[in-house]
Homo-oligomer: A and B are copies of this chain.
Amino acid sequence: MRIILCGFGTVAQSLAKLLVSRSDDLYAKYGIMPRIVGAFDTHGGAVEQSGLDLNRLVEIKKKFGSIKHYDKSKKKWSGLEIIKNVDADVLIETTASNYHDAEPGMSHIITAMKRGMHVISVNKGPLAIAFPSLMELATYNQVQFRFSGTVGGGTPILDYAKNSLQGEQIVSFAGILNGTTNYILTNMSHGMSFAQALKDAKSRGYVEADESLDLDGFDAAAKLVILANWIMGMKVTMPDINRTGIRKVTSEDVKKAAKKKMAIKLIASCDKELVVAPKEIPIDDPLCVNGTLNAISFTSEHSGTQTIIGKGAGGTETASAILRDLLDIRKEILRD
């Protein structure tokens, strides 16, 4: 399987390491030999039809800050040039999410699909802004489109709802889908002020460069868009989400809730309406997880309410979600 890798940050580097460490196992168990034939970051990229040396790629990135230095003798490639000119089976999109125009991820995905490549995205931006039309584009071009890593990191929330609950009608769901705000709210319940808790979260590297993405609920809303489309069959995008962040939650609110054995959490819910907002939930509800954990409760017609809890982020975890998507695409191709 020939792969083009867009972006070379934490997740992509974890993926490169995972592919190296598991190459024997992947071939033996699943019969796949993934080859990264092109990869790029903001500054430029590298191409090698027989497969880039992944250890070297990680080293170069560490040493020079960009993988464009991978092979000095060769042509300098930009990201879109690679996607337009290099033949590959799968594009893996890992550049940063933004919710204005979702670029450059949006162009990467659209260009790849039009060229007949299957796409795996862990970038939420394009999905949040244009889920319904991207699915249409994938169907039209007869390619697979997968995005397990966008919700729950390594916790297979999307797959659980779609496949493990096959034949069931999910009637509603509610989740804690942003680890950063959950960490802040948990610390506030331990006595910190909002400002202190935010500072602590920043010092641990939990907060996005643009803190608004976490604090104002954009990240949770993007995940809600993805869940609503993929699981509930709704055709919605970001503007359809009624979104409130956690900036106005005070220590006073948190204390008041605690007295009632409740906790304030940023809840993304789908039940008639699509809402992201701070809400009080009982502390003994399975959904009420602490720290950076994510959790989601699905209520279905016949199987009651089921909750899945796991780490919602992390390089290796998200890379393992990409690997699952890759195996899934492989399975779908063989089935055709």
Report A's interface with B, CB cutoff 8 A: 18, 26, 30, 153-156, 159-160, 163-168, 284, 286, 289-290, 293, 295, 300, 302-311, 314, 316-317, 319-321, 323-324, 326-328, 335
Given A155-B306, A303-B320, list of 8 further CB < 8 A pairs?
Answer: A154-B304, A154-B306, A160-B160, A160-B164, A165-B324, A306-B310, A307-B308, A307-B310
Q: Smallest CB–CB gap between A176 and chain B, Å?
A: 12
Contacting A311 at CB < 8 Å: which of B18, B304, B327? B304
Please tell me if the beta carbons of A324 and B167 are within 8 angstroms of each other in the complex.
Answer: yes
Return chain B residues, CB-CB under 8 Å to A327. Answer: 166-167
Please tell me if the beta carbons of B167 and A30 are within 8 angstroms of each other in the complex.
Answer: yes
Please tell me if the beta carbons of B310 and A305 are within 8 angstroms of each other in the complex.
Answer: yes
Q: Smallest CB–CB gap between A306 and chain B, Å?
A: 4
Return chain B residues, CB-CB under 8 Å to A159. Answer: 163-164
Contacting A302 at CB < 8 Å: which of B295, B306, B317? B317
Please tell me if the beta carbons of B290 and A289 are within 8 angstroms of each other in the complex.
Answer: no
Interface centre among A295, A307, A311, A314 (most CB of B within 10 A): A307
Return chain B residues, CB-CB under 8 Å to A324. Answer: 165-168
Q: How far is A314 from B306 in the complex, measured between Cα atoms in Å?
A: 14
Q: How far is A168 from B25 in the complex, measured between Cα atoms in Å?
A: 11
Please tell me if the beta carbons of A302 and B316 are within 8 angstroms of each other in the complex.
Answer: yes
Q: Which chain B residue has the least Cβ–Cβ distance from A306?
A: B310
Q: Smallest CB–CB gap between A46 and chain B, Å?
A: 26
Copy count, this protein chain: 2
Task: Using known A-B contacts A168-B324, A290-B284, determine if residue A309 contacts B310 with beta carbons closer than 8 Å.
Answer: no
Q: Smallest CB–CB gap between A304 and chain B, Å?
A: 5
Task: Using known A-B contacts A160-B164, A327-B167, determine if residue A303 contacts B155 with beta carbons closer than 8 Å.
Answer: yes
Return chain B residues, CB-CB under 8 Å to A321. Answer: 303
7 smallest beta-carbon distances between A and B, as pairs: A154-B303, A306-B310, A302-B320, A156-B164, A307-B309, A286-B309, A159-B164
Q: List 10 A-B contacts (CB under 8 A).
A: A155-B304, A155-B306, A160-B164, A164-B164, A167-B320, A302-B319, A303-B320, A306-B308, A306-B310, A309-B309
Return chain B residues, CB-CB under 8 Å to A160. Answer: 156, 160, 164, 308
Q: How far is A324 from B300 in the complex, measured between Cα atoms in Å?
A: 13
Q: Which chain B residue has the least Cβ–Cβ distance from A158?
A: B164
Q: How far is A168 from B321 in the complex, measured between Cα atoms in Å?
A: 9
Q: Smallest CB–CB gap between A227 and chain B, Å?
A: 15
Q: How far is A156 from B160 in the complex, measured between Cα atoms in Å?
A: 9
Return chain B residues, CB-CB under 8 Å to A18. Answer: 302
Q: Smallest CB–CB gap between A242 and chain B, Å?
A: 27
Q: Smallest CB–CB gap between A168 and chain B, Å?
A: 6
Q: Smallest CB–CB gap between A91 and chain B, Å?
A: 19
Q: How far is A84 from B303 in the complex, measured between Cα atoms in Å?
A: 33
Q: Which chain B residue has the least Cβ–Cβ distance from A168?
A: B320
Q: How far is A307 from B304 in the complex, measured between Cα atoms in Å?
A: 17
